[in-house]
Amino acid sequence: MDLNHKDIVYDEKEDEYKIIEYIGSGGFSHVYKIRKKIDNSIWALKTIHPIYNNEQDIKAILNEGRNALKVRNENVISYIYFHDGTKFNNLPPYIIMEYANEGNLNDFINTNKVSQKYIENSVLILMFRQLINGMKAINNYLVHRDIKPLNILFNDNVLKITDFGLSKIVNQSTRSSTFKGSGTYAYMAPEAWENKNNTIQMDIYSMGIVFYQLATFKYPYEIDNRGDLIKNYREAHMTKNPVRPEQHNSKISINLSQIIMKMLEKSVSDRFNNWKEIEELLVIENHEKEIDKDIEELLKKRIERDEEIRTKRLEKNKEETKKRDFFKRIRYQIIKSIINPLEEKINEFNKHYHNGGIEFGERKNPVLENFNYAIKFVSERNIQIYIEGLYDYKFEYQVSPKSLIDIPFPTKENLIKKVVPKLKGRKILAWGVFITSEGKGFNIFLIEKENDIYGEWLILENRNSALSRRERL
């Protein structure tokens, strides 16, 4: 249910508020300016449209809303009433909150970006400390999980954080194809993409991006706006290294840059544990004299080395993720195209045969890329199914030093060569064998298919399997 100009809403005491202006909307809400009838004070009203999946979701959202009402801090927008949609059943769920009169941080960043006049370090510290002050108050009760410049407002030159207590609603809305909250994806911590438990470190990462934007007027990652934008954001948060702030803003202090970069660490264990740790460093930075030039040079060299180490680690993690996803797709194809149809047939047989049955199951295998299954018939005969995923590293080989005689300084790329196995001109993703206890069987190949990341199967009948290396019995 949407509200209109001059509609009346109520708080817990049933005091009346009249809608006087429509301010704007987001993926799951509408925001209005309202006036309290009893004293003409100005407030903001946010109607919320959560997508309720079940009773448990409703309870979680209501609980988060009640916790949000407890937060009181000069750098937090005060909530005075949370309507869950039941007390006034002719009105939608809504929150009555403090009205901020000077816009949001996103507009502030975009306005200053045009002038390219960077904020002084002393002012940055002041702004950072205000935001930390607000986050400490919020995190005493809940994890925000939707920190972004749009959710940070100005009121009488003071920064105030809003939309806390709504992450459950955002989370439900994100599951809908109609949700257009791509701004949220731009600030999601790596562990949030993997649906890990909510932690303060998630908020620290998101606020690290906000700090970065305040210091540089730029987003820390280069994002390709073509194709799947959500996938591109995920890849950036999971595998890309931010450009160091001083490479955009040469006047930012090394200490502030290091604070921001530590907030943006991919691994939770490398990130700050809490806001107090960041606040203490900002206090030191605010009172510290100018760093000695020699020390500054040493710091720069050490930071450059740290960045090299971080980049190598990210590249390794990216490759591991790529490898893991590849084998997940192989397993999916095996189960979907081979195992599930076999199980249906075997279950159907066992259902009608009452003197034992066919046994079928996967053999435990510690190797990620190998898939082993066995079928044991009532007659004690069996079929072994062995399939091996073929990731690129399996076909790397060392080049003979003699072949590098014309290369004065051979690199790793010169020393390692790759051979890509193909069938009918298409890359082989996996190969395997079905072989009976009598030594008969056939080979199967999973090969690339255009516009299909899962590929397609081909069968080669053969009594002597070259892949199984077993002789005819």
pLDDT digits (tens, 9 = 90+) for 218-257: 999 999 888 889 989 998 998 888 999 999 999 999 899 9
Q: How many whole angstroms separate alpha carbon 237 and alpha carbon 225?
A: 15
397 has pLDDT over 70: no
Which pair of structure tokens corresponds to residue 222? 């280069």
Of 270, 304, 134, give the one whose Cα is nearest residue 210: 134
Place of tokens 């500054």: 296
pLDDT on residue 129: 96
d(CA 266, CA 306): 14
Rg (Cα) of the chain, in Å, rounded?
30
What integer is the mean pLDDT of 120-126? 93
Q: What share of the chain is helix, strand, coil (3-state, %, to 5)?
A: 40, 20, 35
**What distance in Å separates the CA atoms of residue 467 and residue 444, rounded to the nearest whole number?**
10
- Confidence band, pLDDT 50/70/90 cuts, at residue 466: very low
Distance between CA 283 and CA 53 in Å, rounded? 45
Say how far apart CA 76 and CA 248 lie, in whole Å: 30
User: Which pLDDT belongs to residue 180?
Assistant: 34
246 is written with which tokens? 């001083």
Instruction: Give the containing element (helix H, strand E) for 372.
Output: strand 370-376
More confident residue, 371 or 418: 371
Those residues whose C-beta lies under 8 Å from the C-beta of residue 187, and which sit 6 or more positions away, are 146, 147, 148, 206, 209, 210
* Contact (Cβ atoms closer than 8 angstroms) between residue 432 and residue 387: yes
Burial class (CB in 10 A: 0-12, 13-18, 19+), 227: exposed
Q: What is the pLDDT of residues 379-395, one digit of tens each?
A: 889 999 999 988 876 66
As a whole number of angstroms, the distance between CA 204 and CA 345 comes to 53
Q: Give mean pLDDT, residues 294-321.
A: 78
**Average pLDDT, stretch 75-81?**
93
Q: DSSP states of 250-309 as a string?
A: TTS-HHHHHHHHHHT-SSGGGS-SSHHHHHHHHHHHHHPPPPPHHHHHHHHHHHHHHHHH
Interval 356-376: pLDDT, tens: 889 998 887 666 678 899 999
| pTM flag (> 0.85) | no
Architecture of the domain spanning 8-290: Orthogonal Bundle (1.10)
Cα-based distances in Å from 288 to 79, 125, 194, 211, 284: 38, 12, 40, 20, 6
Cα–Cα distance measured from residue 77 to residue 131, given in angstroms and rounded to the nearest whole number: 12
| Intervals of CATH 1.10.510.10 along the chain | 8-290
Cα–Cα distance for residue pair 261/244, rounded to 1 Å: 7
- Which amino acid is located at 119 in the chain? I
Listed in sequence order, the residues at least 6 apart from 80 whose beta carbon sits closer than 8 Å to its beta carbon are: 11, 43, 69, 96, 97, 98
Using the structure block, give the residue that is written with the tokens 């987001």.
26
Q: Is there a contact between 159 and 130 (Cβ–Cβ < 8 Å)?
A: yes
CA distances, 11 to each of 83, 95, 164, 243, 412 (Å) = 8, 9, 19, 47, 69
pLDDT (mean) for 184-204? 89
Beta-bridge partner residues of 374: 361, 384
Average pLDDT, the chain: 82
